[in-house]
């Protein structure tokens, strides 16, 4: 059994129509993968959040948008851009994910490392959601810690294959938060935001070039910004077989990336919060196995 604090809730899985493109079942499969790797026991072992409240979420999102999510009254265009139904179950899942990342951040401050077995909804911006992202859990958690005075400076390391455009827009004028995004240059979103540091990679980028880019960008971010906590979006959609990815990382490359991030950050004594990010595959068990790599690297980092 690992000493890694893991935040999870059974309602991270919300019902969707058969054939929906978002692999909602991966969260349940991930729990099974973590049990198989002895990172969780068969019964319990995780820390379950309560849903985040209106005021906390509205600290980074337009209150009228938050209200429409809470009351299941999203406009048809908002539902289309979001790509998820405006149901009560999806709203609850989004609120739990926000609370889960906030809880993981508090645990990371206490224990050095913690992970939320969801989160990374980085396309949700100041005015609303997009791209399967209802609320920006990392942005809300960062804003919460800053407002409480728990931290003064935050680094967000986003290695999902899609740019963290919502996060960049939320913190565009906030010098306390440094946003780093390493992503596919030609992938979604078509209109990129401006992070503090963006690295757009060409289609087909493979392990060696990708790892070099991440290493250089992370080292530069740590020189430019001395954070009190780091949020790490460990999306596995840079994987070569990901149906939305367009990059060419192997399973071993994803594992090496996660080990690199935790080794670099933990060597500096920085608390690290891991969140799941994206990953798209019809083979959900294989997808869950790739997401489990984050937790393996985090468990190793927890011992540093």
Catalytic residue among 9, 61, 122, 123: 123
Q: Which of 15-19, 25-29, 165-169, 258-262 has the lowest mean pLDDT?
A: 15-19
Mean pLDDT on 176-186 = 98
Position 265 confidence tier, pLDDT thresholds 50, 70, 90 = very high
The predicted model scores a pTM of 0.97
Position 1 confidence tier, pLDDT thresholds 50, 70, 90 = very low
Position 24 confidence tier, pLDDT thresholds 50, 70, 90 = very high
Position 2 confidence tier, pLDDT thresholds 50, 70, 90 = low
Burial per residue of 99-134, b for 16 or more beta-carbon CB atoms within 10 angstroms, e otherwise: bbbbbbbbbbbeebbbbbbbbbbbbbbeebbbbbbb
Mean pLDDT on 164-168 = 98
Specify the higher pLDDT residue, 178 or 301. 178
Determine the Cα–Cα distance for residues 43 and 77; give it in Å rounded to an integer: 41
Distances (CA, A) of 175 to 58, 77, 179: 20, 33, 10
Specify the higher pLDDT residue, 301 or 298. 298
The one-character DSSP state at 202 is: P
* Residue 123: active-site member: yes
Residue ranges of domains in the chain, CATH in brackets: 6-302 (3.40.800.20)
Mean pLDDT on 194-219 = 98
The pLDDT value recorded for residue 201 is 98
The pLDDT value recorded for residue 42 is 86
Name the burial class of residue 65, with classes exposed (0-12), middle (13-18) and buried (19+) by CB atoms within 10 angstroms of its CB: buried
Nearest to 55 by CA among 43, 63, 45, 46: 63
Determine the Cα–Cα distance for residues 103 and 116; give it in Å rounded to an integer: 8
Angle at 124 between CA 51 and CA 162, to 5 degrees: 120
134-145 pLDDT, tens digit per residue, is: 999 999 999 999
**Percent of all residues in the chain with a pLDDT value above 70, rounded to a whole number:** 99
Joined tokens for residue 127: 């005015």
Position 279 confidence tier, pLDDT thresholds 50, 70, 90 = very high
Specify the higher pLDDT residue, 296 or 44. 296
Does 93 score more than 60 pLDDT? yes
Mean pLDDT on 173-177 = 97
63-82 pLDDT, tens digit per residue, is: 999 999 999 999 999 999 99
DSSP annotation string for 39-54 = SS-SS--SBPPPPPPH
């Amino acid at each position: 059994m690992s000493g890694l604090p893991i935040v999870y809730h059974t309602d991270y899985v919300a019902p969707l129509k058969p054939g929906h493109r978002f692999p909602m079942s991966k969260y349940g499969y991930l729990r099974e993968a973590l049990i198989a790797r002895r990172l969780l026991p068969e019964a319990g072992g995780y820390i379950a959040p309560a849903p985040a409240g209106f005021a906390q979420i509205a600290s980074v999102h337009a209150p009228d948008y938050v209200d429409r999510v809470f009351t299941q009254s999203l406009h048809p265009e908002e539902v289309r851009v979001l790509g998820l139904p405006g149901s009560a179950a999806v709203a609850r899942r989004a609120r739990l994910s926000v609370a889960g990342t906030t809880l993981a951040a508090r645990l990371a401050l206490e224990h050095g490392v913690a992970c939320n077995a969801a989160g990374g909804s980085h396309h949700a911006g100041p005015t609303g959601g997009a791209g399967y992202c209802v609320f920006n859990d990392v942005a809300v958690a960062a804003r919460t810690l800053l407002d409480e005075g728990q931290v003064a400076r935050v680094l967000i390391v986003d290695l999902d294959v899609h740019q963290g455009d919502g996060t960049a827009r939320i913190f565009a004028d906030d010098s306390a938060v440094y946003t780093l995004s390493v992503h596919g240059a030609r992938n979604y979103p078509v209109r990129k935001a401006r992070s503090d540091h963006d690295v757009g990679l060409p289609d087909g980028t493979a392990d060696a070039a990708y790892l070099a880019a991440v290493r250089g960008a992370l080292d530069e971010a740590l020189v430019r910004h001395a954070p009190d906590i780091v949020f790490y979006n460990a999306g596995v959609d840079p994987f070569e077989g990901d149906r939305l990815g367009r990059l060419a990382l192997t399973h071993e490359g994803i594992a090496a990336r996660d080990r690199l991030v935790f080794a670099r950050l933990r060597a500096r004594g920085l608390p690290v919060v891991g969140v799941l990010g994206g990953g798209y595959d019809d083979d959900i068990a294989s997808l869950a196995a790739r997401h489990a790599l984050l937790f393996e690297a985090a468990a190793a980092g927890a011992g540093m």
